[in-house]
Structure 1
Amino acid sequence: MRVARTDPTAGAPRQGRLRGVRPELWAAFAALAAGAVLCVIGWYGVSGERFAERQLPYLASCTVPGAALIIAGTVLLAHGRSTLAAARVEELYGLLVATEATAPLSPGSPQTVATSDDLLMVPGGTLWHRADCPLVADKPEAVPADATILARGDLGPCPICEPPADAAPER
């Protein structure tokens, strides 16, 4: 007696499997292969005949259709790749819109990335940051900003978290 296995992703959409199936690309490769085979058969048939009137059937039945299949396969390959690229752009756009839709935005004001008044710096870095800036958050090497380094002007303000202007060194 066999035990039925349960798939943990049974309810989830199967985008991974669908993403791998590209009928345009498979058709393109099949047309290219069939066209190449027909061209080789036509060339072999033409090369075995001495007179032009006996070569024409090979040209008409193998070489010309083979060349047409190669052209069709090339067109399908170009179309399949552009379709794939368009699908990827659509997927990225959907992810971007979904991310923006979940972020709370107040009308008329830009979204603040960081709000902490504590300033941090990374030794060897070129910027000072707010403590909750995404560039230094959860980094153990981030240390409190040194007032002497800020006063010398060795560090610039982070363009992401925009630390307070009163902490900027006087130039």
Structure 2
Amino acid sequence: MRTARLRTAHPVLWAGWAALAAGAVLCVIGWYGVSGERYAERQLPYLASCTIPGAALIIAGAVLLAHGRDTIAATRVEELYGLLVAAEPASADESGQAAGAPVAVSGETLMVPGGTLWHRADCPLVAGKAEAVPVDAKLVANGGLGPCPICEPAEPADGGGPRRCPP
């Protein structure tokens, strides 16, 4: 797949460079022709036949170069994504965890001041952070904090659930 996209990208790059060069040559010829004529009615043919098409070719060449470079970049991103997807996850023997095991299992919940999520204490997003503090139940009750999508903690046990008014 990569070679097919690169094969289509390289001719586009060459065409872009060729269009830029041809446009520059036409602009120079047009400028030279216009500069040699004293009257505007004699300058118009040079503008119409050289300078305006030259400018259009320069713009077209720039567009082709940008498209070709985007195609090459997209090809590289797809190749890296393919390498990431093809990499096999570490087995239970190598990593110490079984495949499909939860990321965090601690019952204690923490939050980072100024953050928007609460986490289990052994969540990789807060593990080892000195600024992590126990969850404030009022923030959870007000909806100021949401559960971390990585460690998926349960509601804080210290009454942090939603409060209901008595009937």
Q: TM-score range by the shorter chain?
A: 0.5 to 0.7
TM-score of the superposed pair, with normalisation by structure 1: 0.53
* Structure 1 CA distance for aligned equivalents of residues 52 and 114 of structure 2: 67
**Equivalent residue number for residue 28 of structure 1:** 16
* Contact map agreement 1:46 1:59 (CA 8 A) in 2: no
* Structure 2 CA distance for aligned equivalents of residues 56 and 142 of structure 1: 74
* Contact map agreement 2:19 2:60 (CA 8 A) in 1: yes
**Equivalent residue number for residue 96 of structure 2:** none
| Unaligned residue ranges in structure 1 (runs of 5+) | 1-21
Q: Which amino acid aligns with 1:43?
A: W
Q: Number of residues paired by the alignment?
A: 141
Q: Give the secondary-structure state (helix, strand or coil) at the position aligned to 1:80.
A: helix
* Structure 2 CA distance for aligned equivalents of residues 125 and 46 of structure 1: 65
* Structure 1 CA distance for aligned equivalents of residues 116 and 47 of structure 2: 72
Q: Give the secondary-structure state (helix, strand or coil) at the position aligned to 1:141.
A: coil
C-alpha RMSD of the superposition: 4.5
Cα 1:68–1:159 shift into 2, 3 Å: closer
Q: Which amino acid aligns with 1:84?
A: I
Equivalent position to 1:70, from 39, 58, 62: 58
* Structure 1 CA distance for aligned equivalents of residues 114 and 53 of structure 2: 66
Give how far 1:36 is off.
1.9
Q: Which amino acid aligns with 1:44?
A: Y
TM-score of the superposed pair, with normalisation by structure 2: 0.54
* Structure 2 CA distance for aligned equivalents of residues 38 and 70 of structure 1: 10
* Structure 2 CA distance for aligned equivalents of residues 151 and 69 of structure 1: 64
Equivalent position to 1:127, from 117, 122, 138: 117
Percent identical among aligned pairs is 67
| Unaligned residue ranges in structure 2 (runs of 5+) | 1-9, 92-98
